[in-house]
Amino acid sequence: MAARIKIAYIIGSLRTGGAEGQLLELLRGLDRSVFDPSLIIFRPDTSSRAEAVVEQVYSLGNPKTSGLIDRSNLLKFPSFLRRARELLRHIQPDVLHAFLPEAATIVGSLAARAAGVSLIVASRRGSAGLYRRSRFLTAAERYALRRTDFMLGNSAALAREIVDLDSYPAERTATIYNGVDTRRFAPRSGTDLRRALGWSDEHVVFAIVANFRACKRHADFVSAAARLHREFSHTRFVMCGHDRGELTRLTTQIADAGLKDAFHITTSDEPERTVYPLIDVYVCSSETEGFSNSLLEAMAFRKAVIATRVGGNPEAVRDRVEGYLVPSHDPEAIAAAGALLVKNADLRGRMSAAARERAVTTFSLDFMVKNHEQLYFRLLSERGVILEQSKAAAF
């Protein structure tokens, strides 16, 4: 084996998203004296996000594949497999880590097995129900999973799903939580941002940061906002994300509810600069989650939270400590929790302080990176690829 451990990561694209951001943070944080990472992506047009993060970036050369399989790219999979196998034989990694289903896991695991890679790891960062759309693709992914050596979930809920839904061996699964940069996402004043919107410090501001997709249930956020604004005219609301097909319907819903003057919608890719400083309460209204990055970011920003009791949300937020956990598809419950926080500034302050403390002590980027590094060492040691003393020397 080379002096440094070679790890090849494969992902559909690096377009803006939680999983993509976590991979970039992992690549940025890996100890370069020990690890030599490289990156394989399907979409070359998104590779610019990896600049200054990883030196070796390879493309499978398909501008349309972001990670899921459809009719437009299904026939191209044999060429993807050949190209991935050739790249892996060139890179000669000790570890192949497929960071997302479905395309990355299928192509990555099969190509890595054919290329003789010592260790194949796959990650699931969202519920399978969110992306599996046919029996054929479900069977294909399960076939590919049998070629992997280990599976990661970014929440215990997802790790259980991997075992229960796909009959994957429990002893070959683990949970590594997402990490948040608690220095970048740190409390700061949002007074100027509020003034720019015509809002004051007297307003209580709620926000959601998520791309506009049906599973994020922005409609429930808007419905809850309507209930809150009827009772508390000084409430204001922010939505931040990129349109994935839902934004037109949502703007109509906002207008119909008479909330246009109470809402601010932005597509900013820097919520730490444009959104989190100006809000009081963060809301995650999703019907499904792996482990929400924006939830962690808001907590790191010292914001009380309201989150649906789905996926990894209950692992991030302790009910009535950092905020409130509510049922999914229940805007009335969101509004009821919001009303408690509007009426009680002291409660809001206590929950905000607890949220920041939990983000710093439990969900830091350093923890996330170190947990990945230790997992790679342990699995490679078990396979005899590295010696235990090498692991001890590295740490």
Q: Who has greater pLDDT, 386 or 255?
A: 255
pLDDT tens digits for 299-330? 999 999 999 999 999 999 999 999 999 999 99
Q: With H, G, I as helix, E, B as strand and everything else as coil, classify residue 339.
A: helix
Over residues 249-268, the mean pLDDT reads: 97
Length of the chain: 395
Give the count of domains, the chain: 2
Range name among 98-107, 149-158, 200-209 with the lowest pLDDT average: 98-107
- 245 and 107 in a common domain: no
- In the sheet that 281-284 helps form, which strands lie side by side, from edge to edge? 263-266, 235-240, 204-209, 281-284, 304-308, 323-326
Of the pLDDT bands very low, low, confident and very high (cuts 50, 70, 90), residue 75 is low
Q: How far is CA 336 from CA 70, 253, 276, 324, 370, in A?
A: 41, 20, 22, 10, 39
**Is residue 186 in some structural domain?**
no
State yes or no: pLDDT of 253 exceeds 80.
yes
Question: Own/partner pairs for 44-50, CB < 8 Å, 24+ apart?
Answer: 46/13, 46/14, 46/15, 47/14, 49/14, 49/20, 49/24, 50/14, 50/24
In a domain, 141, yes or no: yes
pLDDT tens, position by position, 2-34 = 579 999 999 988 887 788 999 999 999 999 999
User: In the predicted model, is pLDDT for residue 76 greater than 80?
Assistant: no
Burial 315-342 (b: 16+ CB within 10 A, else e): bbbeeeebbbbbebebbebbbbbbbebb
**378 and 304 housed in the same domain:** no
CA 162 – CA 79 distance, rounded (Å): 28
Please indicate, yes or no, whether residues 303 and 332 belong to a single structural domain of this protein: yes
Measuring CA to CA, how many Å separate 20 from each of 13, 26, 46, 178, 380? 8, 10, 11, 11, 25
* pLDDT tens-digit readout, 84-122: 999 999 999 999 999 988 889 999 999 999 999 999 999
Residue 360: strand pairing partners: none
Tell me the chain's radius of gyration from C-alpha atoms: 22
For residues 313 and 262, membership in a common domain is answered with yes
For residues 50 and 38, which has the higher predicted lDDT (pLDDT)? Answer: 38
Parallel, antiparallel or unpaired: strands 35-41 and 119-124: unpaired
- Which of 30, 58, 59, 45 lies closest to 366 in space, CA to CA? 30
Domain that holds residue 262: 191-362
The answer to whether residue 60 sits within a structural domain is: yes
Helices (H), 286-387: 293-300, 313-316, 331-343, 345-362, 365-382
Regarding whether 238 and 141 lie in a shared domain, the answer is: no
Whether 77 and 171 map to the same domain: the answer is: yes
Token pair recorded at residue 138: 């479900």
Greatest pairwise CA separation for the chain in angstroms: 66
Looking at the predicted structure, is the pLDDT value of residue 392 above 60? no
Residue 329 host element (H or E): none
pLDDT at residue 349, rounded to an integer: 98
Assigned token pair, 174: 């683990």
The verdict on 200 and 343 lying in the same domain is yes
Pair type for strands 323-326 and 235-240:
unpaired
Least confident of 73-87, 143-157, 253-267, 362-376: 73-87
Question: Is 185 part of a structural domain of the chain?
Answer: no
What's the token pair of residue 380? 């490679």
Give the pLDDT of residue 61.
75
Quick one: 156 and 216 in the same domain? no
Please report the pLDDT score of residue 17 as a whole number: 77
In a domain, 129, yes or no: yes
Q: What tens digit of pLDDT does each residue of 127-143 get?
A: 888 788 788 888 989 99
User: What is the structure's pLDDT at 394?
Assistant: 52
CA angle (164, 98, 134) in 5-degree steps: 55
- Kindly tell me if the per-residue pLDDT of 65 is higher than 70: no
Domain assignment of residue 121, yes or no: yes
Residue 150 covered by a domain: yes
Bridge-based pairing of strands 204-209 and 173-175 is unpaired
* Span 261-307, pLDDT tens digits: 999 999 999 999 999 999 999 999 999 998 999 999 999 999 999 99
Pair (250, 323) in one structural domain: yes
Closest alpha carbon to 290 in 386, 216, 348, 205: 216
Q: State whether 387 and 336 are in the same domain.
A: no
Residue 71 has pLDDT above 60, yes or no: no
pLDDT value at position 389? 46
Residues 159 and 52 in one domain: yes
Task: Tell me the mean pLDDT in the region 351-365.
Answer: 97
Is 253 within the bounds of a domain?
yes
* Three-class SS state of 41: strand
Predicted pLDDT of residue 52: 86
CATH of residue 117's domain is 3.40.50.2000
Cα-Cα-Cα-Cα torsion 72, 73, 74, 76, nearest 10 degrees, comes to 130
Confidence of residue 1 (pLDDT cuts 50, 70, 90): very low
Same domain, 101 and 122: yes
pTM above 0.95, yes or no: no
